[in-house]
Structure 1
Amino acid sequence: MAVVAEESDAEVIGRARQHPDAFAALFDRHYRRIYAYAARRLGAGLADDIAAETFLIAFDRRDGYDRTRADAGPWLYGIAANLIARHARAEARHLRALARTGAVDAVDWDGDAVAGRLDAAAARGLLAQALAALPATEREVLLLVGWAGLSCQDAASALDIPAGTARSRLHRARTQMRAALGMTNSNLDPEVDE
């Protein structure tokens, strides 16, 4: 029995240009991750709206998608990041609430991520304060890499900035986060260039 390869995101988007219902496959592949990212940034209350609007915008812009990119994840995260940026005050409130209470909405479906959050419970307030203190441009790159799991190159693509700019912002954000947590580079494993 022959194994049939799954269509790439680019192929799905290409097909959706003529057959709009094909776009549902892209939604099914990426919705949970986009929702989880938005919920971590703004809380569960706004995450549904952000995730839904991300896919509405993506659907409307499907004709302009660069189909040389097989994975649409960075494109979708870029749309979500722009929508989240419009809610900067809500994100700041959410981060301040996290700093005060340490409570986090359960939005991850990944057991490793849940375990990681439990391990980080003691530092949660400091993390939230440090995140809130970062400039928005640096926070965005850090969270796309740290929470969304994008490479630095994909984060640059998502934000439509040069890769060098993304690397600089990520470095500054990591440096500020380490300082806020009382960590030094000697406390950490050597960084891997992304």
Structure 2
Amino acid sequence: MRARIRAGDRQAFADLYEEHARPVYNHVLRLTGNWSTAEEVMSETFLTAWSHRERLEPEGGSLAPWLLGIATHKSYNANRGLRRRLAFLAHRPPPPAVPDFAEETAGRLDDSRRLAAVHAALSGLRRQEREVLALCVWSGLDYAQAAEALGVPVGTVRSRLSRARARLSRLSEEQQEHREHRERWEPRKTRGEGRSEAAFAALPLREENS
């Protein structure tokens, strides 16, 4: 497969897309928190992979680390661009309100809530920690594959993942303490409404499989 892709075999690249498009999309979604951005970055990832196919190492195992490494870099750039656009829009008058008549399913709404909670939790992590958490915990890469994707030593992956888990654990504890303090003064919430954002970060989002 590597040799065929390096040689510009379009059918081999089409097979690669069929196998890895959805995992790449899901990885980008976790890093960006936006469905439309994830679609754009996924497309950019495969365009970059095709244009830089000659840089692919001729020997190796799964091509997932190569693609997820490109996707991670593209996601970082997309997030930077989004922050710049938000800063620009913050200085402009808001657009007129438009009623939203779209019918959203309950599952889609729950995913939106979970995705927002995940990003609220991950915002307490450094970028490198978010990336290694997404690669190892959600995308299922082992330490060596994550190191290949990020272009760092295996030991760096281990230390970043350890720090990320420790930070999320502390955040979860802080949220739990804050919630317990707040609930002393507020009516009791219904079952399932008190889950911490950091706890959501340990759960997989509903992934697209088709």
1:40 aligns with 2:30: yes
Runs of 5+ in structure 2 lacking a partner? 87-106, 175-210
**Which protein has greater RCO, CA pairs closer than 8 Å, 6+ apart?**
2
What is aligned with 1:54?
45
What is aligned with 1:82?
73
The one of 154, 158, 164 equivalent to 1:163 is 154
CA distance, structure 2, for counterparts of residue 162 and residue 87 of structure 1: 25
CA distance, structure 2, for counterparts of residue 149 and residue 56 of structure 1: 23
1:19 aligns with 2:9: yes
RMSD: 2.9
Aligned length: 149
Seen in structure 2, the aligned counterparts of structure 1 residues 73 and 66 have a Cα distance that, compared at 3 Å, is same
* Equivalent pair of 1:130/1:176 in contact (CA under 8 Å): no
Any residues of structure 2 matched to 1:128-143 within 5 Å, and which? 128-143=119-134
Structure 2 counterpart of 1:170, one-letter code: L
Greater Rg over alpha carbons, structure: 2
Moved over 4 A (4+): none
What is aligned with 2:21?
31
CA distance, structure 2, for counterparts of residue 128 and residue 70 of structure 1: 31
Runs of 5+ in structure 1 lacking a partner? 1-11, 94-104, 107-113, 184-194
Question: Offset of 1:18 from its aligned partner?
Answer: 4.6
Question: Offset of 1:46 from its aligned partner?
Answer: 0.6
